[in-house]
Every structure is written in C-alpha cells, then in structure tokens.
Structure 1
Amino acid sequence: MATDIAFAVGIVSLSGKRVPAALKVFLLSLAVADDLGAITVIAVFYTSSVAFAWLVAALVLLVVVWVLRQRRVWYGPLYFVLGVVVWYCMYRSGVHPTVAGVAMGFLMPMQPLRPDLGAAEIADRLENQAELTATDVENAAFLIRESVPVGERISDRWLPWTSYVVIPIFALCNAGVALSGEALGAAVGSRVTWGVTLGLVVGKTIGVFGAATLAIALGIARRPRGATTLHMIGIAMAAGIGFTVALFVTSLAFDSVEATDQAKVGVLAASVIAAVLSTLTLRLAASRASASELQLEALENEELFAESAPGVVIDER
C-alpha cells in the first residue's frame, strides 16, 4: 500500500521542469502520509501479542521526550539515546518497532532554540568584536548550533548512514524473491500477484486522482498552478510505485512463502509499470502544455500585430 518516496520522486524528477514544482511537493507529501498509513496498519493489524510492561516503558519514555521538548532541553545526543531506548522497549513489547521511529519523528523539536538568530548574524557579531576570547567563540558556536533544529541536526548527521547503509540493507532484505521460471509462471497465474499489481497501478491511480479531483471540486484544495489533468494523472500513477515499505508489508501480510513471493512479484511488476506509465503520461502532459503555450503566444502576436498595423492583412497560407 505504501508509496516508495525515493523511487516515486526520482521518476517524476526525470521529467524535470515539465512537471510543476507544486505537484512534486504534493507527491512527496502524499508518499510520506502513505508510509505513515502503512506503519499504522503494521502496528494495528500485525501485532500478535503485547508485553504491556515494555509498552508502558516505551510510552513513559515518549512522554519524557515530550517534556524535554516543552522545557526546551534540545540536546541532540540525548534525543538519539532516548530514541534507541524507545525502539528497544517497543521491540520487546511486541508492537512493531517502526512505530517508535514515527513517534520520535513527531516529538522531535523542529524549531530552533534561537529562531531570532541566524548563523550569518552570529558570525557578523564575532567579526565586529574588537577582542575575542575563547568564551566568546564557544558561545557563538553554541548559538550557531542551536540556530538549527534538533531534528534537522540529527537528520543531517545520520543522512549518509540512512541513505547509503540502512535503506539499501532494508530494501535488499525485503526484496528477496526467487525469480525462477517456475516461480514467475506461478506468479502470472496467481490472484495474489494480479491483485497486488492492479491495486498499485489501477487502484492507486484512481484513488489519488479521484481524491484530488474531489478535493478541488469541493473547494478544499486548489489545482496547482500550471498543472493539467494529465499532470495530475501522471502524479497519481507515480504513487503506485511501491518498493521498500510495500515489500516489507508484504512480508508481514502472508504466512505462506509462496504467497509472499507472488505478492512481491506483484509489487515489483506494479512498480515498473507505474513508473513507465507515469513517465509517459507526464511527458505527454508537458508536450500538450508546450503546444498550448505556443498557440497562445502565436495568437497574442497576431493580436499585437493587428493593433499596431490595422490595415495589414496576415496571409496564413
């Protein structure tokens, strides 16, 4: 059910400026919400037994994190250690530990301790001081660090590890499927494979495009500037690209190894189909938009020429 953020945004980015920036932001927001929905499903439907003592310990620690944020104790390493302990308690409780990551993400301070100061302003203050002491430099370093939110600092610090180590390992662990001729033959005739494929390719397209169109019609949302109906259909198709989290949910949803492999084949097939259809649709939308712009420009030029030279007739043969 989840949209793979990296693949979906990457596919749309291949279209470059052909896709309005607002639609890219919409897809990114949709993918994040989609993944959160998938994690909620994991927590609710794939928790077999709960050790309440460990669950209470995790909840107490989350309350501690909230109190620290409210008291403006914004020390990055402290939040990191608490996050690891919360993850362990959630794991021991029987609730899937991915929920701990989501909870910590919501509770992480995303505002700087000193929003009134920027790094450039602090540096200018140092430059204008006649004499600098070690204490002045330490205070400036502290203020510069605290001008960046804790959540952003932790994200930047661990981005190389998460991007190049954790996520690839996560994807490889969940993408394992035997693609032998016999397995593919079984997948082609499997209702599980077809259900997953159609759900991602057709279901996601209809659901996302339909919900967006309904929201615009009801006045809840506005169509992004420069976006056509084809643009919106192309973005909705990109939402059907499911890889990491979708494969992870698949491994939890089925008890049978055969059914799990068939579902994974469906996810992989749907991701390829959705990526191709999305790319083609967005390119078609861009070409039509360009043609419309050229026609409008030609019409404006004709009107301008007619106003400047009313006695001259344009021969269009």
Structure 2
Amino acid sequence: MSRAGTGKETIGRWIRTESGSAVLLVLVAVVALVWANSTLSNTYFELWHVELGFNVGPFGLHMDLHHWINDGLMVVFFFVVGLEVRQEFAHGSLRDRSRVRLALIAGVAGVVLPAVVYVSIVAASGGEGLEGWGAVVGTDTAFLLGALAIVGPRLSGQLRVFLLTLTVVDDFLAVSIIGIVYSEEVRLIPLLIALGCLVALWALGRTRQWRAAPYVFIVVVLWFATVTSGVHASLAGMLAGLLIPAYATRRHKVVEARQLFRDFWQSPSAASARAVNRGLAQGISVNERMHEVLRLPTALLIVPIFALANAGVDLRGGVLADSFRSPVTWGVIAGLVLGKLLGIGLATFFAVRLGAGRLPEGVGMGSVFGGAALSGIGFTVSLLIISLAFGSTSELGRLATVGVLVAMVLATLLGWSIFKVAAKLWGEETADLPMLLTPPVDPEVDHIRGPEDAQLTLVEFVDFECPYCAHATGSWKDLRARFGDDLRYVVRQLPHHPHGPIAARASEAASNQGMFWPWLDFVFTRQHALERDDLIGYATDLGLDVDRFVHDLDSDEVRQRVERDLASAEASGAHATPTFFIQGRRLLGSYDARALTAALETSRRGTRTKQIPSSS
C-alpha cells in the first residue's frame, strides 16, 4: 500500500476519535466565520434561507434550510443522546445510585448557577437579552470529550465516565428547557399525536420488539407531529431515545447466532444468510444497534453541518468591539466559563465531603474542576438556544454567538491550566483506573499454563460464571495454537456473578490437589450448574479426594487465596470479567481472539525491537 493510502487511513481513523471530531468541529466553525466575513458573505446567509419542503396528500411541511438543520437534523443528535442515556441507565454508570446522586447534584448546579450568573449580569445592565439565559445551561458533549482527550490527563477514562454521567443530567435539563421555554405556540392535535407516539414507543419496548423498523417509523411520525405542534423537536428526539429499549447482550442469543452461522458455513444460501443476520440482531439490543449506526454520522456529518449553519457571525462593522461592551456577550462568557466551573466543581466537592455521592476510583478533585471548566464549552446547545431566543442573525444573536465562541476558547484554556496545576501540586497525572498489574506474576503463587519463562504473558481475571471469559469462548485455544510456548497464560480470580465466589473457592480447592487447570477446563463447559452439590459432583468426576475437597472449599486458606486475587483486581483496575493484562498492562477495548492476538503480536515485536542492539 502506498504511503498516501496509509496516510488517508490514519487521518480517517483519527477523525473518528473524540479529539479528531472536536478538531473537525473547530475547523468547520472557522470556515463558517471566514465565509460569513468574506466578500461571499451574502451567499452564506442566503443559503440558510432557501425554502425546502414536501407534500404527501393532505400533509406537508415547508421550512427554510436553517430550520431543517436545527429542527430536523439536530433531532437525530438529541435522539442519539437519548439512546446513550438509556444505555447508561440499563447497564452503565447510572446503575450506581451514588453516582446518580452525585451527577444529579452537580448537573443541576451546573445548569442553575450559569443561568443565575447570566441573568445577574444582563439584569444589572438594563435587562435587554434576558430571554437568552438558556444559552449558558448546556454543555457540548462531543466538544467536551474531544477537549478532554487533547488537554486532559494522559489517562482519563474514569474522569470521562464521570463527565459523561454528568452530561446526561445536563443534556436532559437543557433539552427540557428548549422544549418548554423556547417552543412556539402549541397546537393541541399534533401534540396529542406526538404523545401517542411516545406511548407507542413505550409499548413497543415492553414487547421486546427487536426489529428497528417499527421504532424508526414511530420516531419519524413523532418528529413530524412535534414540529407541527410548535414544541421544539429536540425534546421529542431525546424522549424517543430514552424509550428505545437497552439491555446487556444476551448470551443465549449469541450462542444461537453461532449455530446459525455454522449452518450458513455448511450450506450458504440467501435464506441462511438472513437467518444469521436476524440471529445477530436479536443478540444485541435495538438501542445499541441504532446507536452504532447513528453515532459516527451524527458526530462527523450532522453536528458539523449544524456548526456551519450557526457559527457564522458577521463581525464586520464593529460587531466584535460591540460584543466586548455588551452585557449579553459577557453574560454568556461568565455563565459558561465561571458558572460551569463553580457550579459543577463546588457542588461535586461539597456533595463528596458530605457523603451524598462518591467519585469514580482514580479521579481527584483537581481533575473534577478541570472537567468542570471544560463543561463551559456550550457550542451546539448554546447556538441552538441562541437561534431560538434571538435569531442567529439578529444583533443580540450575533453578540451571544461571539460569547459562545470566546467561552469555548477560554474554557479549554482554563481546563488545561487546572489539569496542569492538579498534576504538579496534587500528583493527579491520571484520572483513570490503574493500568499495571499489581502485584506482578509470581510463579510461586499464580496459576500458570505454559513455560514460566515464556516471552509473552497473558493474565486474565475470570469468573467461572462469566459467559465471555476466554475458556468459555474458546479464545485461549486459538491463542495457544498461534503462540505455542512463547506464551504463558495466567488466571486470577474475580468472582462477581452469583455463583462466582463458591466456584472460585472450588477451583482453589482443586488446585490444592494439583488439578487447577483440569478443573478450569472441565467446569467452564458447565457454567449453567455451579451449585455446591454440582461442584462436589465435578470433584468426583475428576477423581479428586472429595473429603479433602469439601474441607478445603470452606477453609480460611482458600478464602484468603481468592481474597488475594480480589485485592489484586482492585489494585490493577480490573472491575469486571474478563479483564486481560498483556505484559503486565491492562488491555483496553475488544478482547476477542483476533484482538488478543494483535495485541500479543504488537508486544512481541516491541520485545524483539528492544533486544536488537543499536548500531554505533
């Protein structure tokens, strides 16, 4: 492949990252500003007033291009936000009540205080522009995460989770404000149709309908009814996303899909291919499938188009100078930069001190204040509310837009400064779970399969009831076939499923008779039966001394052995199974056989490179 081709692929992959999409938004905003202030500025403003519409029988909808973007495309953005929120409630960070409380407290404070700051500044100068207070309540999640990836700590995974949890509350409140405060005159019949669509979505979710098409049809009708009703469609978008069912991947459906693929492999046909696609879809929630389809187009197309249509402010004729004399501009700047910093930061600090919530492991208060500062990047939500409150081309609209753009720069610089200070003064160089295996592998105490002096080391924290651990999925067999004696495989216990603790103790009881690996291979094929009597039966089947096995099963020695692995998991940042460490470093992302093989190959190449002496 040519270097040009490789370069294009690298750029393409980078654009898909959070930092890449944030830089793309900045570039688009700059293009909008340059275009709006060039000799072609009339083409910029005229473009967004082009009328577009359609008629289907007695129904029709006609809006200018600007409204199609703000009331149409941006509904997809808020729909994706709703999907993400539902996932967090179903099997994400919002299942933890303490995190929910902390996010609720900090999120409400991060909405209320910026609004108070804005109103105070504008009211003190006569009150013109008070209706724009909503411009400072929202945070642009995409920009926030992109900025965090660029200026945040080297490792910030747990801080990212905290900020995402926080923006769930922020987004919900901001969209509610848009729908309630900034909607037009409400029409009753379309509103009732929209409410009926929401009920239909709820009912469809209750039936566990796995096909996406019925949901999409209802969402389209919901959008049309909401736009016609006069309520801003962003509220309908988020509510619709919240009603799309989300649930963890169902293992039995994955197993069924594997059998369907086997049928297709043995007898390929269009019918068996459809069966495979249907089986795969049933294993993943419709929420997750919709999110996967919409996530990249939203980040790389919809939001940049919105930025192009809304960030262009004509700064000629002294507008920039007028902006810095305007209470509206300063209200937006102070509300976003100071209001978000103090609202989120102080609320989190006092909530943690008073025991009302707890921060994710590895996140310090310095990192929290740095993230709170970055939350002052309002951009998408702010520009949307400005267009609703003032009109983006009005004088007040332009003044407020300048404030949003300035706040974006100041919030990023402030967040970067706080992260630097936190790292230097309080040692907060990371805001994530530990990445290194603690303690390192010890042949005297660890369960090792393969040569003890092998070149590569793969450590897996397992739960015998975990359906995705390597022995259950067959990944270990693939890895063993690929690397042979170059690989040693280490297992540590992390029981967290209902039968996990007793199954872990049983494996250690078997280990006392030198049968850990035969036990592991045998029991991982019987995950459906892990009661005490089942485990004793397996000991009989494997020819163990059953009396000794039963004694060891409840012994303090075996309990301490499992607790030692649990302490190792906590110290190493392993909170779920399976969690893998390659050469002592926690693996992030996918853990299928292909991903593990690639990671091990990368480590092997790195080891060989270090062993080659440099030429003088």
Q: Is the shorter-chain TM-score for this pair beyond 0.5, marking a shared fold?
A: yes
Question: Distance in 1 between the 2:203 and 2:332 partners?
Answer: 43
Cα distance change of structure 1 residues 116 and 185 upon mapping to structure 2, 3 Å threshold: same
Which of 237, 244, 250 is matched with 1:115 structurally? 250
Task: Report matched runs for 1:4-153 at 5 Å.
Answer: 4-15=140-151, 17-18=153-154, 20-111=156-247, 115-117=250-252, 119=254, 122-123=257-258, 126-127=261-262, 132=267, 138-153=274-289
CA offsets per residue over residues 35-57 of structure 1, 9 Å max, x none?
A: 22111111111123111000001
- SS at 2:166 equivalent: helix
How far apart are residue 111 of structure 1 and its match? 2.2
Question: Distance in 2 between the 1:76 and 1:229 partners?
Answer: 42
Amino acid at match of 1:123: R
How far apart are residue 292 of structure 1 and its match? 9.7
Which of 309, 327, 350 is matched with 1:173 structurally? 309
How far apart are residue 67 of structure 1 and its match? 1.0
Amino acid at match of 2:258: A
Amino acid at match of 2:314: A
Contact 1:196 1:267 in 2 (8 A): yes
Amino acid at match of 2:168: V
RMSD (Å), alpha carbons: 2.6
Question: Distance in 2 between the 1:229 and 1:268 partners?
Answer: 27
Matched, 1:259 2:396: yes
Aligned positions, number: 292
- SS at 2:371 equivalent: helix
TM-score by length of 2: 0.44
Higher relative contact order (CA 8 A, sep 6+): 1
Question: Distance in 2 between the 1:14 and 1:137 partners?
Answer: 43
Contact 1:12 1:19 in 2 (8 A): no
Question: Distance in 1 between the 2:203 and 2:314 partners?
Answer: 48
Question: Distance in 2 between the 1:78 and 1:204 partners?
Answer: 40
Question: Distance in 2 between the 1:292 and 1:21 partners?
Answer: 12
**Structure with the largest fraction of helix:** 1
Aligned to 1:300: none
Long gaps (5+) in structure 2: 1-136, 431-616
How far apart are residue 141 of structure 1 and its match? 3.0
Contact 1:175 1:244 in 2 (8 A): no
Amino acid at match of 1:117: H
Amino acid at match of 1:245: V
More displaced, 68-77 or 158-167? 158-167
- SS at 1:276 equivalent: helix
Cα distance change of structure 1 residues 288 and 131 upon mapping to structure 2, 3 Å threshold: same
Question: Distance in 2 between the 1:155 and 1:110 partners?
Answer: 10
- SS at 1:95 equivalent: coil
Contact 1:19 1:282 in 2 (8 A): no
Amino acid at match of 1:122: A
Contact 1:126 1:132 in 2 (8 A): no
Aligned to 2:405: 268
Question: Distance in 1 between the 2:255 and 2:285 partners?
Answer: 16
Contact 1:18 1:283 in 2 (8 A): no
How far apart are residue 81 of structure 1 and its match? 1.6
How far apart are residue 14 of structure 1 and its match? 1.7
Aligned to 1:279: 416
Aligned to 1:188: 324
More displaced, 183-192 or 103-112? 103-112
Amino acid at match of 1:265: V
More displaced, 217-226 or 235-244? 217-226
Question: Distance in 2 between the 1:236 and 1:181 partners?
Answer: 35
Contact 1:19 1:231 in 2 (8 A): no
How far apart are residue 120 of structure 1 and its match? 6.4
Matched, 1:225 2:361: yes
More displaced, 25-34 or 250-259? 250-259
Contact 1:43 1:95 in 2 (8 A): yes
Question: Distance in 2 between the 1:58 and 1:35 partners?
Answer: 21
More displaced, 64-73 or 185-194? 64-73
Contact 2:367 2:428 in 1 (8 A): no
Question: Distance in 1 between the 2:315 and 2:265 partners?
Answer: 70
Aligned to 1:305: none
Cα distance change of structure 1 residues 33 and 17 upon mapping to structure 2, 3 Å threshold: same
Question: Distance in 2 between the 1:164 and 1:126 partners?
Answer: 33
Matched, 1:158 2:297: no
TM-score by length of 1: 0.83
CA offsets per residue over residues 66-109 of structure 1, 9 Å max, x none?
A: 11111122210221121111000000000001111111101101
Question: Distance in 2 between the 1:235 and 1:83 partners?
Answer: 34
Cα distance change of structure 1 residues 56 and 131 upon mapping to structure 2, 3 Å threshold: same
Long gaps (5+) in structure 1: 294-317
**Structure with the largest fraction of strand:** 2
Cα distance change of structure 1 residues 232 and 132 upon mapping to structure 2, 3 Å threshold: same
How far apart are residue 155 of structure 1 and its match? 1.8
How far apart are residue 254 of structure 1 and its match? 2.4
More displaced, 5-14 or 182-191? 5-14
Question: Distance in 1 between the 2:260 and 2:205 partners?
Answer: 28
Cα distance change of structure 1 residues 196 and 91 upon mapping to structure 2, 3 Å threshold: same
Amino acid at match of 1:56: L
- SS at 2:185 equivalent: coil
